Amino acid sequence: MILLRRTVHAATLALLVIPITAAITPHAAADVRKRPKADSGTSARRMLAQLEVAKPLSIRGYSHRRFQPRWAHHRGTCDAREVVLARDGHRVRKNAACHPVKGTWYSPYDGKRLKSERLVDVDHVVPLAYAWRSGASRWSQARRRAFANDLTRPELITVSHSANLAKGGQGPQSWRPQRRGHWCRYAASWITVKHHYRLFVTKSEKRALLNMLRTCGGR
């Protein structure tokens, strides 16, 4: 999901976004371990085989508000987005209203280390609009809201704003993470979420997911 951000001067952004071209730093690896785990490649393949294959439904009637009028509160004054930012970040400092004011975040989609919360988005791995066309249009409002704020499945993840903007509402047949090293986890996360919520997949989507799962090796 794409969140609006205040415009930041390009020179400032260059200082705040640090590409990672080598191995993931120790604290980035630790951050990844804190996130809800996707199933292994073998388990993901098994779950994918159980998903219904169908043609996408119409986007008619879709609205972001049909899923998420606002982020749901989970821990006192903290909403789901703030919980994810604190969970995925390193040395995150929050203000009295639970909003992160300092920290570092690793974006697994493109390998960037982000030193400002303004450059970070909380992405829905399975985009809300995509879920709508995969069967969520038939759900109750309560179930859609639970989906959009799910902290148990690997549906919410912190990524760079630029990566989230590039992804938009696309599925794996038309977009995949820039970092090939994240393809296995991305595909497994996508399948884990769809399997839990009984959302169907299209033929091209299933083919793309299987291709990404090949990067899982023997896992």
Which pair of structure tokens corresponds to residue 156? 């919410």
pLDDT for position 147: 98
User: What is the pLDDT averaged over residues 82-111?
Assistant: 95
pLDDT digits (tens, 9 = 90+) for 125-168: 999 999 999 999 999 999 999 999 999 999 999 999 999 999 99
Rounded to whole angstroms, how far apart are CA atoms 169 and 100?
Answer: 26
Q: Please state the φ and ψ torsions of residue 159, each to the nearest 5 degrees.
A: -140, 170
pLDDT at 218 > cutoff 70 = no
pLDDT at 5 > cutoff 60 = no
pLDDT for position 77: 83
Helix axes 26-34, 80-88, angle to 10 degrees: 140
pLDDT for position 40: 73
Rounded to whole angstroms, how far apart are CA atoms 101 and 192?
Answer: 32
pLDDT digits (tens, 9 = 90+) for 182-197: 999 999 999 999 999 9
User: What is the pLDDT averaged over residues 167-191?
Assistant: 97
pLDDT for position 23: 34
Rounded to whole angstroms, how far apart are CA atoms 138 and 91?
Answer: 41
pLDDT for position 27: 41
User: What is the pLDDT averaged over residues 9-30?
Assistant: 38
pLDDT for position 37: 63
pLDDT for position 22: 32
pLDDT digits (tens, 9 = 90+) for 32-81: 446 666 657 899 999 999 999 999 999 999 999 999 999 998 867 899 99
Rounded to whole angstroms, how far apart are CA atoms 137 and 134?
Answer: 8
pLDDT for position 74: 82
